[in-house]
Amino acid sequence: MGGSGPSLVDSRMKDLCAYLYSLRNQGSSYGIERMELLLEKIGRKILNFPVIHVAGTNGKGSTCAMLDAIYRENGYKVGLFSSPHLVDLGERIRVNGKILSMDKLLGHIHVLKPYAEEIEEEFRGMHPSFFEMMTAVAFCEFAGEKVDLVVLETGLGGRLDSTNVVDPVVSVITTISLDHCHILGNTVEKIAFEKAGIVKARRPVITGWLSFSANEVVRKVALEKNSSFFTLADQPVDQNLPETNLTGDHQKRNAALAMCVTECLQDQFPVSQEKTKRGLHHVSLEGRWQILKNKPQIVLDACHNQEGALALREQLVKLSGKTELIIWFGSLGEERAEEILHLISEFATQIRFFQPSQPRSCSFEKLQSLLPPKYSGKVLNGKIKEVKAYLDQINSNQILLITGSIYLLGEVLEIVKNKKKTLSADFQDLI
C-alpha cells in the first residue's frame, strides 16, 4: 500500500492554509453565538483548565504577558492566548512561552474544520470566523497540553468576544477608554459595560485604574452577579509600584494589577514573592518600547489610540532634547491617527509614513493632512520593501521610533529579523 508521502501532506497543509486565509478575508463578525455552537461540537469538557480572563482597552497584552511570566517562574505550566501576532501566527498561542508551530496549528484546524462546516450546513451564515477558529485552536492546544492555568486575552470588547465562553477563576479589566467606538459604543460607560461582560457569577473581578464612571459600571455588574469586586482605582497612581523589565510608568501599573491578581488567587495558585518579582523582570513582550538595536537606537512601540499615545508621550518627554528623534508611523483609522500624531509629532525632526497591508490603513495623503499645522519637521512616505535601505540612513546620533499600528511593527520586524516570507503576515484580523 502506498503511504501519504510528502506531496500529499504538503497539499493538505496548503488546503488548510487556504481555508484559514479565506476565513480571515471574511473579516470579523461580532457576536458569541458561533463560538457557542463550535464549542458544543467540540465538547465543553475541553474547557477543563482554570482561566484568568483579561479585557481592557489598553494594557491587557502587557498584563497577560506579566501573568504568564509570573506563574511560569513559580513553576506552573501556563497557556497564553493573545492577539494579534507580530510575525508568526503561532505567537497567539503559547504553552510555557513556546509559540505554537504552524504544523501543529494546522493540525488543529484539520480537526476543527468539519465541525465548522457542519455548523454552516445546519445554521446558514453561522460558520465560525477566523478569530473564533483561532480561539478554538487555543482551547484544543491547552487541553491537550494539560496546562495548569490559562491566561486568556479578549480580542475585542468582552461580552460578545469569542473568548467569553469560559468560566474564569478571576476576571480582569485593565483600562477603559474610547476605542472601537463603532462596535463597542461611543461613551466610556457603554464600553465599560461591554468589557464587564467577562464578569461571571460568583467569580472575582479586578480592575485597574479605571475612571470613576467606568469603574462604577463594572462594580454594578459585579454586584448583580454576586462577584467580589477589587479595584486599584482607589489607590494613588504611581506610588510604590512594582518594578518590571518593561519600560514606562504604565507598565508598572500593569505589573501592580498582575500582582493583585496573584494575591487574589493565592489560595488556588500559590506564588512566592521572590519568584513573582523575578517573573516581572523576565517578561517577554515584543512591540512595547522594544529596543531592537543600539547605535543607532531603534525602538518599536505599538500605539493604536489616544490612551496609548499618552503613555508613549511620557517616554518621549524623557528623551526630549537629548537626541534627534525620527518617527516611522502607520495607522488603521483616521481618528486614531490624528489623536496619536497630535500627541507625539512635536518630538520628531522627521516623520516617515507607511501604509500597513490592511484594508483600513490610512493613506499617505490622509496621514499628512492629519499632522498638526505647527509641525515643521521633514515628512516622507515609505515603502515596506525599502525598510532596510531606510534603516541604513539612520545615524548613531539619532533614535528611530517605529510606532502606530501593531501591524506596521510586525511587517518591519519580519524584514529586520530576515524571516523567510510566510503566510503569517497575511493572517491578521480584519477589524
**Distances, alpha carbon 301 to alpha carbons 201, 347, 361, 368, in Å:** 37, 15, 18, 21
Same domain, 52 and 104: yes
CA distance 96 to 283: 12
Cα-trace Rg, the chain: 22
What sign does the dihedral 88-90-92-96 (CA atoms) show?
A: negative
Instruction: State the pLDDT at residue 182.
Output: 59
| 399 shares its domain with 314 | yes
Which domain-ending residue is among 222, 247, 280? 280
**DSSP assignment, residue 7?**
H
Q: What is the mean pLDDT of residues 174-186?
A: 70
**In this predicted model, which residue has the larger pLDDT, 26 or 138?**
138
Asked whether the beta carbons of 18 and 121 are under 8 A apart, the reply is no
Mean pLDDT computed over every residue of the chain: 89
What is the mean pLDDT of the segment spanning 31-52? 95
How would DSSP label each residue in 281-325? TS---TTSSEEEETTTEEEEEE--SHHHHHHHHHHHHHHTTTSEE
Same domain, 220 and 306: no
Q: pLDDT tens across 402-420, in order? A: 999 998 999 998 888 775 5
Claim to verify: residue 263 and residue 301 sit in the same structural domain? no
Are residues 245 and 300 located together in one domain of the fold? no
CB atoms closer than 10 angstroms to residue 7: 8
**Confidence grade of residue 95 (pLDDT, cut at 50, 70, 90):** very high
Confidence tier at 4 by pLDDT (50, 70, 90):
very low
Percent of the chain with pLDDT over 90: 67
186 pLDDT more than 80: no
Q: Of 261, 280, 299, at which residue does a domain stop?
A: 280
What per-residue confidence (pLDDT) applies to 21?
82
pLDDT number for residue 256: 97
- One domain for residues 231 and 308: no
Q: What value does the mean pLDDT take over residues 349-377? A: 92
pLDDT at 71 over 90: yes
pLDDT at 326 over 70: yes
Q: What is the mean pLDDT of residues 311-321?
A: 87
| Whether residue 429 has pLDDT greater than 60 | no
Q: Is the pLDDT of residue 8 over 60?
A: no
Query: What's the rounded Cα separation, in Å, for the pair 198 and 161?
Result: 9
Q: Residue 255: its pLDDT value, please?
A: 97
What is the pLDDT averaged over residues 14-25? 82
CATH at residue 369: 3.90.190.20
Among 57-61, 301-305, 413-417, which range has the highest average pLDDT?
57-61
In the predicted model, what is the mean pLDDT of residues 381-389? 93
Indicate if the pLDDT at residue 388 is higher than 50: yes
Residue 99 sits in the same domain as residue 233: yes
Average pLDDT over residues 64-89: 95
Q: Which of 12-16, 19-23, 67-71, 88-92 has the lowest mean pLDDT?
A: 12-16
Question: Bigger pLDDT: 81 or 430?
Answer: 81
The answer to whether residues 413 and 299 touch, using CB atoms and an 8 Å cutoff, is: no
Same domain as 267, residue 180: yes
Q: What's the domain count of the chain?
A: 2
H or E stretch including 173? strand 170-173
Read off the C-alpha cell for 200.
Answer: 461571571
pLDDT at residue number 6: 47
Residues 6 or more apart from 308 whose CB is under 8 A from it? 58, 302, 340
In a domain, 4, yes or no: no
Tell me, yes or no, whether 263 lies in a domain: yes
- Quick check: helix, strand or coil at residue 380? strand
309 located within any domain: yes
Q: With beta carbons less than 8 A apart as the criterion, state whether 173 and 208 touch.
A: yes
- In this prediction, residue 3 has a pLDDT band, given cuts at 50, 70 and 90, of very low
Cell, residue 326? 525620527
Q: Report if residue 5 sits inside a domain.
A: no
Q: For residue 136, what pLDDT is reported?
A: 97
pLDDT of residue 7: 46
Looking at the structure, tell me whether residues 251 and 334 fall in a common domain: no
- Residue 87 in any domain: the answer is yes
Question: What per-residue confidence (pLDDT) applies to 403?
Answer: 95
Looking at residue 96, its pLDDT comes to 97
Identify the domain containing residue 259 by its residue range. Answer: 13-280
Does 258 share its domain with 197? yes
> What are the pLDDT digits (tens) for 228-243?
999 999 888 777 899 9
Tell whether 3 is covered by a domain. Answer: no
Among candidate residues 327, 326, 323, the one with its CA nearest the CA of residue 340 = 327
Residue 6: inside a domain, yes or no?
Answer: no
Last residue of a domain, one of 223, 252, 280: 280
Cβ proximity of 49 and 143 under 8 Å: yes
Taken as a whole, the chain contains a residue count of 431
Query: pLDDT grade, residue 9 (50/70/90)?
Result: very low
Residues 203-232 have a mean pLDDT of: 96
The CATH number of whichever domain residue 75 belongs to comes to: 3.40.1190.10
pLDDT tens sequence across 151-171: 999 988 888 899 999 999 999
* Same domain as 199, residue 57: yes
- Establish if 145 belongs to a structural domain: yes
Predicted local confidence at residue 328, as pLDDT: 97
Q: Among 356, 338, 341, which residue's Cα sits nearest to residue 413?
A: 356
Query: Are both 262 and 318 inside the same structural domain?
Result: no
